Chains A and B, each alone.
Chain A
Amino acid sequence: MSPSVPGRRRIVRRGLRTPREELADATAHGHVYLRGLQRQQLTLSLLALVTFGAIFGVLPLALYLVPAFARLELFGVPLGLWIVVVPMLPGFVLIGWIYQRRADAADEAFRELVER
């Protein structure tokens, strides 16, 4: 076992380097792999943010501009009150849950790529 063994192996496998080696050595290729994952995750997060904004972000404006909508009653309580208190339970959890599954899947795909 001479200390030069790892170096020699590396030379032998040049051209067939795995993504893991590229990443560990911070090469230009590794850079591309990582940037791909990062961009994918950011896109996913922004998508979830836009969904959230489209559903909950417009609520205050909608309730302000259309007071009649807020005055509709459900079980004797104005809809405006229901909207502020209740829908976050299913709404937030659903957006969060779908995002979490997608983000985990993206991480897993990256892991498979690297461990290939």
Chain B
Amino acid sequence: MIVALVAVAGVTLGTLGLGTWGMRFARTTSDLLVASRLVTPWWNAAAISGEYLSAASFLGIAGLEMQIGASALWQSLGFTAGYLALLLFVAAPLRRYGSYTIPDFAEARLHSPTLRLVAAAIVLVIAGFYLVPQLKGAGLALNVVIGSPYWVGVVVVAVIVAVNVALGGMRGITFVQAFQFWIKVFAIAVPAILLLIHFGGLPERAALFGRSLPHAGSRGLTVRLGSRQRAQFPQAGSFIVHGQTVHVRAGGWVSLPAHTPISIPPGGVVPVAAGTPALTGARWSRPVGGTGQGAPVLVYSLLIATFLGTMGLPHVLVRFYTNPDGYAARRTTVRVLGLLSLFYLFPAIYGALGRVLAPQLYITGQTDDVVLSLPRIAWPGAGGTILTAVTCAGAFAAFLSTSSGLLVSLAGTFSHDVWPRLARGRPQGASLRRLHFRLAALGAVVIPALVALVAQGVDIAILVGWAFALAASSFCPMFLLGIWWTRLTARGAAWGMVAGMLVATGMIFAGLALGEPTGGALALLEQPAIVSVPVAFATMIGISLVDPLRVSDVEQQMLALHAPEGLGLRLDDEERAQLLA
């Protein structure tokens, strides 16, 4: 896989190099503000999309689609629709308000340093949760590229990103992120289109939409496992190991040995790893109701989490301040909708092709790999090798851009919001703050990396779903009520966010403790937003209404949020930058 290794190394070095080079031109906040006047909405939109498209979008959706069927595709709809919610309720007012981070906004809008600390703690949790699946993706990808154990990829990418962020590279550079977006679109679209052309459309319609279970192709298939694996035959079938044919009855479990070729005869049904459902094509292709995770209430819960959670992702919001004004923020967001819709046309193709062309991933249970290994498995020879190199490079672009953005948010929150409170009033120089940022960047990657090592068995898409559910249950109500409702108080916002977080995390961990529950209401534990979001809103509104401590200057706050620019009614960015300088 030397081709893939070269492609991955090229993307990695190119990204890091461009980022470091670009930093020379944007040293200070006011430099960034001035530069932002030159950035058109299209560039900004590509940059936002570039930072947003993570391992979950690049690998997770296709992997989950292959595993549980078309109901996984609601993820891509929700990931895009989240920007519509952002456009309708948040983009322009937040840009006009001019706070640069979520804790900044929380403190300025409601005059509460305590609220800033609560918001900062939630930023740490959400960004940490979101970082885990990126590192998990890196472990899988490096395994496909050079066959290294899972933990090697996790550690390598964690170290690269931490060192790079600590050294100050790749911080909020619009052009680098925009470039990353187009790399990702190219890397997911070109192999998908070429594979469709190569196979003349979607092959094996019976396995995709008909009665067939996943089965071996007309030449059979041979797989070599990295570790001993338990798998179940959904129908009576057979496999060949050490030259002997083993027949298995329907529903029978087998223990497949490692490091030895295991063959499935031509057209034979493949055994599926524990935790992977064996579905007929008809059930697999149903967007709702085909499987446990396709139950309507779970689909709606996921849509709520993604629709409302996008506005609460810390690394996404920062990027909106490169828009020169509220009008541009709206225009940029509309373009983001278009660019993301373009990208999300393609993951679905990998999931479908993977089901018929790479059924061995059902045996290993590694459906999360499908985008990376499908071209190589389905198209032996140079064509497949090159296309796998392309998708691997795109995946690395996704890990690097998203995890850098997240780590900058983590380290920034720690050094800017949390540490000064812990240090209690001791004066801090700029160089000391920069040191804290660097230490925080190195430290903040440790816990997510450890969690990623433990979470090898959890699907990427589910991990990311949790980060969205947390954001939707905490920051979304704070933004929506803070921007549009004059009666919100600091106490109401704090308790609402805490309540939403507690309910959401409580449900997620209860679900983990019970093992993956599949039936009935318990399945909601994996997809908590439909419960936790209303709880957060109700708590925030209820406590604000009984709270005697109202915000004193609420008229000025509303003016800052909603009045258009250029009326001379409030500080513009340049005046603000002059005040800060």
Residues of chain A touching chain B, judged by Cβ–Cβ distance below 8 Å, are 20, 23-24, 26, 30-31, 34-35, 37-38, 41-42, 45, 48-49, 52, 56-57, 60-61, 63-64, 67, 70, 76-78, 80-81, 83-86, 88-89, 92-93, 95-97, 99-100, 103-104, 107-108, 110-111, 114-115
**A24 contact set on B, CB distance < 8 A:** 568-569
Inter-subunit contact B562/A64 (CB<8 Å) = no
User: Given A34-B559, A38-B484, A85-B76, does the pair A110, B88 have CB atoms closer than 8 Å?
Assistant: no
User: Given A24-B569, A100-B334, A107-B327, does the pair A81, B285 have CB atoms closer than 8 Å?
Assistant: yes
- Closest approach, in angstroms, between the C-beta of B86 and any C-beta of chain A? 10
User: Given A63-B287, A103-B330, does the pair A45, B77 have CB atoms closer than 8 Å?
Assistant: no
- Closest approach, in angstroms, between the C-beta of B306 and any C-beta of chain A? 12
**A108 contact set on B, CB distance < 8 A:** 564
Specify which of A30, A38, A110 lies most central, judged by the most chain B CB atoms within 10 Å of its CB: A38
**B288 contact set on A, CB distance < 8 A:** 60-61, 63-64, 70, 80
B window 62-78: CB within 8 A of A:
70, 73-74, 76-77
C-alpha gap A76/B92 in the complex (Å): 43
Inter-subunit contact B286/A67 (CB<8 Å) = yes
Residues of chain B touching chain A, judged by Cβ–Cβ distance below 8 Å, are 70, 73-74, 76-77, 80-81, 83-85, 87-89, 92, 201-202, 205, 209, 285-289, 296, 299-300, 303, 326-327, 330-331, 333-334, 337-338, 341-342, 344-345, 348, 484, 555-556, 558-559, 562-564, 566-569
Partner of B562, one of A38, A49, A83, A111: A38
Inter-subunit contact B287/A83 (CB<8 Å) = yes
- Closest approach, in angstroms, between the C-beta of A88 and any C-beta of chain B? 5
Inter-subunit contact B341/A92 (CB<8 Å) = yes
- Closest approach, in angstroms, between the C-beta of A37 and any C-beta of chain B? 6
**A48 contact set on B, CB distance < 8 A:** 84, 88
Inter-subunit contact B87/A93 (CB<8 Å) = no
C-alpha gap A77/B344 in the complex (Å): 17
User: Given A107-B564, A111-B564, does the pair A45, B88 have CB atoms closer than 8 Å?
Assistant: yes
Partner of B296, one of A38, A61, A70: A61
Inter-subunit contact B81/A78 (CB<8 Å) = no
Interface majority SS (helix, strand, loop, mixed), chain B:
helix
**A64 contact set on B, CB distance < 8 A:** 288-289, 296
Partner of A23, one of B77, B84, B88, B569: B569
**B89 contact set on A, CB distance < 8 A:** 45
In addition to A20-B568, A37-B563, 5 A-B residue pairs with Cβ atoms within 8 Å of each other are A20-B567, A80-B287, A89-B345, A92-B341, A100-B331
Inter-subunit contact A100/B296 (CB<8 Å) = no
Inter-subunit contact A60/B303 (CB<8 Å) = yes
- Closest approach, in angstroms, between the C-beta of B534 and any C-beta of chain A? 16
**A35 contact set on B, CB distance < 8 A:** 558
**What are 15 A-B residue pairs whose CB atoms fall within 8 Å in the complex?**
A34-B555, A35-B558, A38-B562, A57-B303, A60-B288, A63-B286, A64-B289, A70-B286, A76-B201, A77-B202, A78-B209, A80-B286, A85-B348, A86-B345, A89-B345
Inter-subunit contact A60/B287 (CB<8 Å) = yes
C-alpha gap A95/B83 in the complex (Å): 12
**B344 contact set on A, CB distance < 8 A:** 85, 88
Nearest A residue (CB) for B345: A85
Nearest B residue (CB) for A48: B88
C-alpha gap A32/B528 in the complex (Å): 40
- Closest approach, in angstroms, between the C-beta of B548 and any C-beta of chain A? 22
Partner of A96, one of B287, B334, B348, B566: B334
- Closest approach, in angstroms, between the C-beta of A50 and any C-beta of chain B? 11
Inter-subunit contact A26/B287 (CB<8 Å) = no
Inter-subunit contact A111/B77 (CB<8 Å) = no
C-alpha gap A93/B74 in the complex (Å): 17
**B287 contact set on A, CB distance < 8 A:** 60, 63, 70, 80-81, 83-84
Inter-subunit contact B87/A20 (CB<8 Å) = no
**B337 contact set on A, CB distance < 8 A:** 92-93, 96
**B326 contact set on A, CB distance < 8 A:** 107
- Closest approach, in angstroms, between the C-beta of A41 and any C-beta of chain B? 7
**B77 contact set on A, CB distance < 8 A:** 56, 84, 88
Specify which of B296, B559, B566 lies most central, judged by the most chain A CB atoms within 10 Å of its CB: B559
Partner of B569, one of A20, A67, A77: A20
**B202 contact set on A, CB distance < 8 A:** 76-77
C-alpha gap A81/B285 in the complex (Å): 7
Nearest B residue (CB) for A23: B569
User: Given A92-B81, A93-B338, does the pair A100, B285 have CB atoms closer than 8 Å?
Assistant: no
- Closest approach, in angstroms, between the C-beta of A20 and any C-beta of chain B? 7
C-alpha gap A37/B45 in the complex (Å): 27
User: Given A80-B70, A104-B330, does the pair A99, B88 have CB atoms closer than 8 Å?
Assistant: yes
C-alpha gap A112/B539 in the complex (Å): 39
Inter-subunit contact A93/B76 (CB<8 Å) = no
**A26 contact set on B, CB distance < 8 A:** 555-556, 559
User: Given A60-B74, A85-B345, A107-B327, does the pair A41, B87 have CB atoms closer than 8 Å?
Assistant: no
- Closest approach, in angstroms, between the C-beta of A83 and any C-beta of chain B? 7
**A86 contact set on B, CB distance < 8 A:** 345
